[in-house]
C-alpha cells in the first residue's frame, strides 16, 4: 500500500468516539488528518431487564450471536458486573472480524465469523442454515435491522432479541466542521452504518448537504452505500470488507483517483 497517498488529506471519522482508536492510528500512520465528528452516541439501555434475563439463561441457548462490538462491550461488562461467568454450551457467532476481536478481548472463543462481514453473511453460513428447534440469542442494540431475527425465526429457531445498548443522535455543534469544510480542509467523509450516515446528513444541515454532493464518501458496506444514494448523493466508494482495514483500502482507492464501484 502506498504510504503517502493519504498524506495531508482531511478525513472525517463519524464513528462513536470510543470506537475511533484503530481508524485514527491507521490514518495518522498514512499521514492523513483525521477529523473527528461522531454521528452517533452509544449509551446503556434504559432498562437492563432484557439483558439480565438473557445472561442468567445463557446455558439454555444453542447459539449466541453478537451483532456488533457495542453489543459485546455492554453484554460482557454487564456479565462481569453481575459476577456471572460464560457457561459451557452455547456456541458464539460474531457478525464480523472486529466483533470477534472484541469477544477475544473478553476471553471468549468465537465459533463462527462469516466470510462476508454482515447479517447476510451470517445467514449464508452453513452452521445457521438448519436451526429448526434451536434457541438463539441475538445480542444487539435498539433501532437495529430485523433481518437476522426474522430469518432465523422463519428457519424454525426460537430467537430472543436481547437489547444491550441504545443509540442516540449527538447534539454536537456542526459549525467548526462546516468552517473546516469551507476552508477546503475536508477531503472525504467515512461512514460505517446507514444510521451514522443519516445522522451525519441531518447534523450538517442544508449547507453541509449541498457540499456533500461534491465530497467523496467512503462507505463500509453496500447497505451503507444505499443510504447515501437514497438521498440523491453520488455513489460512494465501498470498502471491500466491513472492517477498519477495509475502510482504509477504500480510502486508498479513492485517493488513487479510481472510480467507485457501482
Distance CA 39, CA 24 (A): 16
Alpha-carbon Rg for the chain in angstroms: 19
Question: Grid coordinates 486508498 are at which residue?
Answer: 252
CATH match of 10-40+171-255 with 3.30.300.30? no
pLDDT at 262: 47
pLDDT digits (tens, 9 = 90+) for 30-83: 999 999 999 999 999 999 999 999 999 999 999 999 999 999 999 999 999 999
Average pLDDT over residues 144-168: 92
pLDDT at 128: 96
pLDDT at 41: 94
pLDDT at 1: 47
Distance CA 184, CA 215 (A): 11
Domains 10-40+171-255 and 43-168 share a fold: yes
Average pLDDT over residues 154-177: 95
Write a three-state SS string for the chain.
CCCCCCCCCEEEECCCHHHCHHHHHHHHHCCCEEEECCCCEEECCCCCHHHHHHHHCHHHCCEEEECCHHHHHHHHHHHHHCCCCCCCCCEEEECCHHHHHHHHHCCCCCCECCCCCCHHHHHHCHHHCCCCCCEEEEEEECCCCCHHHHHHHHCCCEEEEEEEEEEECCCCCCHHHHHHHHCCCCCEEEECCHHHHHHHHHHCHHHHHHHHCCCCEEECCHHHHHHHHHCCCCCCEECCCCCHHHHHHHHHHHHCCCCCCC
Average pLDDT over residues 251-259: 86
Nearest to 210 by CA among 182, 236, 190, 235: 182
pLDDT range class, residue 18, cuts 50, 70, 90: confident
Residue 241 exposure: Cα atoms within 13 Å on the Cβ side: 14
pLDDT digits (tens, 9 = 90+) for 101-153: 999 999 999 999 999 888 999 999 999 999 999 999 999 998 767 899 999 99
Could you please state the CATH topology (level 3) that the domain comprising 43-168 is classified under. Rossmann fold (3.40.50)
Domain edges within the chain: 10-40+171-255, 43-168
pLDDT range class, residue 261, cuts 50, 70, 90: low
pLDDT range class, residue 2, cuts 50, 70, 90: low
Flag whether pLDDT at 197 surpasses 80.
yes
Cross-strand pairs, 182: none
pLDDT at 21: 87
Distance CA 175, CA 181 (A): 10
pLDDT digits (tens, 9 = 90+) for 200-224: 999 999 999 999 999 999 999 999 9
Amino acid at each position: 500500500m502506498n504510504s503517502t497517498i493519504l498524506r495531508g488529506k482531511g478525513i472525517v471519522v463519524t464513528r462513536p468516539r470510543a470506537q475511533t482508536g484503530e481508524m485514527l492510528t491507521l490514518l495518522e500512520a498514512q499521514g492523513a488528518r483525521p477529523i473527528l465528528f461522531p454521528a452517533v452516541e452509544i449509551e446503556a439501555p434504559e432498562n437492563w431487564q432484557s439483558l439480565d434475563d438473557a445472561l442468567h439463561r445463557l446455558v439454555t441457548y444453542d447459539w449466541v450471536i453478537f451483532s456488533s462490538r457495542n453489543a459485546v462491550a455492554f453484554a460482557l461488562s454487564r456479565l462481569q458486573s453481575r459476577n456471572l461467568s460464560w457457561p459451557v454450551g452455547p456456541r458464539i457467532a460474531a457478525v464480523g472480524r472486529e466483533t470477534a476481536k472484541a469477544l477475544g478481548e473478553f476471553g471468549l472463543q468465537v465459533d463462527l465469523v462469516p466470510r462476508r462481514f454482515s447479517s447476510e453473511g451470517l445467514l449464508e453460513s452453513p452452521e445457521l442454515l438448519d436451526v429448526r428447534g434451536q434457541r438463539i440469542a441475538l445480542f444487539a442494540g435498539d433501532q437495529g435491522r430485523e433481518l437476522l431475527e426474522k430469518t432465523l425465526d422463519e428457519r424454525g429457531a426460537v430467537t430472543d432479541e436481547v437489547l444491550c445498548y441504545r443509540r442516540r443522535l449527538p447534539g454536537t455543534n456542526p459549525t467548526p466542521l462546516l468552517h473546516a469544510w469551507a476552508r477546503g480542509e475536508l477531503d472525504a467523509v467515512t461512514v460505517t452504518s446507514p444510521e451514522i450516515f443519516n445522522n451525519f446528513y441531518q447534523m450538517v444541515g442544508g449547507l453541509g448537504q449541498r457540499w456533500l454532493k461534491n465530497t467523496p464518501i467512503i462507505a463500509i458496506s453496500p447497505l451503507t452505500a444505499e443510504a447515501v444514494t437514497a438521498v440523491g448523493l453520488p455513489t460512494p466508494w465501498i470498502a471491500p470488507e466491513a472492517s477498519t482495514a477495509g475502510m482504509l483500502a477504500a480510502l486508498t482507492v479513492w485517493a488513487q483517483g479510481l472510480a467507485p464501484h457501482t
